[in-house]
């Protein structure tokens, strides 16, 4: 099911701000403070007692400082994750509606909070929305795009919507080529212009100082390139990687004339600049080719900030099997019995055989990595275990996890759920007690990574059944009606009406379709 958390679908002039997700999960880190009890031993004979006490004091201070730093890092890490969850799942987000060809915003009870005065409007992205207005300046009407808060206060104005981009995965804004954080505070310098690429990385340029480089979502510059020979164009392509890979490398492009590879996070140059074109082949596998005439140069796999494997033969291919923990090397230049070898993604070692290391947890789903719960297969079906403890017995035909960010939001509300199937029915199962809290007469459930709404087509009634994971409320609608799912509400179109329902599935607003 497509995520509909976008700008006004009835107005094709507004920017498309689809919500996408990178794979991420929270590691719960327990920090324990050392017990400050020391043995009652006398000081060494060759040192005064006061000096000994001073050393003990310094050790204690050092330990406390380390613990404080660890707690702060852990707090910041979890806060960033929580900010992302809050930015996506906002129970109280205002809802855009149309009235008399204008747009305004209601709350989840259907009351207007911002009157319908806007020519065009977006859904709220984080704490802000984009609206289009007309402003009369010296007798001339100007179309303006404004970013407003939940009280309707204008925070930033711009003349074109193309200059506004919201990145929900990192709760940041790029406006007029400047980077802003979730509270619309500018965090990039006035001297540089930025462009969002993907995975939380931006390219930046300082034309006056003839510099460019890479910036992360926090506004930190991680790599700087100094222009040479009148260069005036710089962009980056961050690599596509799957979990459990964490290192991401950026292909740098200068004027479409020079290409290199650097670590996106620390700026270390991995592959020096070349006139040959570099392409990302997935999971930190890169290929280099001459442009004119097009000709293969080299193929490489990068790991631990170095080239772990490289070949200049066109008869060698690299295949990523990240979920199984290795990169496969197929060497067509060798005899059949020796064509395959494997790069261990944990160690970087190359061997002729590969066996999974049970300690790597590389075969685990992201949800399993997050929770420590794994799927167990037995003769009766599937169950769930956490270490030696049984969470769900082996009595289910299949078990499906929710998206990790959705799961984190649900657990913050005390909902520890999975979906499980048996006897052609699907159940929402509470992992706290192993009991089913909802039963669906269907084997396929339409869920959404950015919403707590589910729906399915009832096998017998041929109706569309909608369910909310937070409130537990259910409603039915005709299968002929068009359903759109958002973070904290849904709309149903049918019989020339567009009806809005909140998370309790109460009708809160209607408009002519």
DSSP string, 116-143: EEESEE---BTTBEEEEEEEEETTEEEE
Question: Percent of the chain, pLDDT > 90?
Answer: 66
CA distances from 51 to 45, 48, 378, 448 (A): 12, 5, 64, 64
- List the alpha helices (DSSP H) in 48-129: 49-88
b (16+ CB within 10 A) / e for 177-195: bbbbbbebeebbeeebbbb
Terminal CA-to-CA distance of the chain, rounded, Å? 22
Residue 83: which pLDDT band, with cuts at 50, 70 and 90? low
Residue 89: which pLDDT band, with cuts at 50, 70 and 90? confident
Quick count: other Cβ atoms within 10 Å of Cβ 46? 5
With 90 as the cut, is the pLDDT of residue 212 above it?
Answer: yes
Give the pLDDT score at 58: 57
User: Which structure tokens are listed for 8?
Assistant: 């006004």
Average confidence (pLDDT) over 183-196? 96
Give the pLDDT score at 207: 85
With 50 as the cut, is the pLDDT of residue 244 above it?
Answer: yes
State how far the Cα of 510 lies from the Cα of 136, in Å rounded to an integer: 33
Give the pLDDT score at 39: 32
Give the pLDDT score at 331: 95
């Amino acid at each position: 099911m497509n995520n509909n958390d976008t700008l006004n679908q009835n107005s094709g002039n507004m920017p498309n701000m689809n919500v996408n997700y990178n794979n991420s999960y929270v590691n719960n880190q327990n920090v324990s403070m050392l017990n400050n009890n020391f043995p009652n031993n006398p000081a060494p004979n060759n040192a005064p007692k006061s000096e000994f006490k001073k050393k003990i004091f310094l050790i204690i201070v050092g330990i406390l400082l380390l613990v404080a730093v660890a707690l702060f890092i852990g707090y910041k890490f979890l806060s960033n994750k929580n900010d992302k969850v809050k930015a996506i799942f906002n129970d109280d987000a205002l809802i855009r509606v149309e009235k008399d060809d204008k747009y305004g915003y209601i709350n989840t009870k259907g009351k207007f909070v911002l009157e319908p005065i806007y020519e065009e409007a977006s859904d709220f992205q984080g704490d802000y929305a984009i609206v289009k207005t007309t402003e009369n300046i010296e007798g001339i009407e100007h179309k303006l795009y404004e970013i407003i808060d939940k009280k309707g206060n204008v925070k930033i104005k711009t003349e074109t919507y193309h200059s506004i981009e919201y990145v929900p995965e990192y709760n940041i804004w790029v406006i007029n080529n400047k980077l802003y954080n979730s509270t619309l505070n500018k965090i990039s310098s006035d001297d540089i212009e930025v462009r969002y690429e993907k995975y939380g990385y931006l390219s930046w340029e300082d034309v006056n100082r003839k510099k460019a480089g890479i910036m992360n979502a926090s506004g930190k510059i991680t790599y700087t390139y100094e222009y040479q020979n009148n260069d005036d164009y710089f962009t980056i392509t961050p690599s596509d990687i799957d979990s459990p890979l964490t290192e991401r490398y950026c292909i740098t492009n200068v004027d479409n004339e020079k290409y290199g590879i650097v670590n996106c996070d620390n700026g270390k140059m991995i592959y020096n600049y070349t006139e040959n074109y570099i392409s990302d082949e997935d999971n930190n596998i890169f290929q280099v080719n001459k442009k004119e005439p097009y000709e293969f140069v080299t193929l490489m796999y990068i790991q631990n900030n170095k080239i772990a494997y490289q070949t200049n033969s066109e008869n060698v291919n690299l295949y990523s099997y990240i979920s199984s923990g290795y990169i496969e090397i197929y060497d067509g230049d060798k005899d059949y019995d020796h064509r395959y070898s494997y790069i261990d993604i944990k160690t970087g070692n190359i061997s002729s055989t590969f066996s999974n290391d049970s300690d790597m947890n590389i075969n685990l789903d992201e949800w399993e990595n997050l929770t420590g719960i794994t799927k167990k297969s037995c003769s009766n079906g599937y169950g769930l275990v956490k270490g030696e403890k049984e969470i769900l017995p082996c009595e289910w035909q299949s078990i499906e996890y929710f998206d990790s960010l959705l799961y984190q939001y649900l657990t913050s509300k005390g909902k520890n759920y999975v979906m499980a199937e048996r006897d052609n029915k699907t159940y929402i199962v509470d992992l706290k007690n192993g009991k089913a809290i909802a039963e669906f007469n269907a084997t396929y459930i339409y869920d959404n990574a950015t919403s707590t709404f589910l729906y399915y087509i009832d096998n017998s009634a041929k109706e569309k059944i909608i369910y909310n994971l937070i409130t537990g409320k259910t409603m039915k609608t005709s299968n002929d009606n068009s359903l759109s799912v958002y973070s904290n509400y849904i709309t149903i179109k049918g019989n020339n009406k567009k009806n809005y329902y909140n998370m309790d599935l109460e009708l809160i607003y209607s408009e002519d379709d």
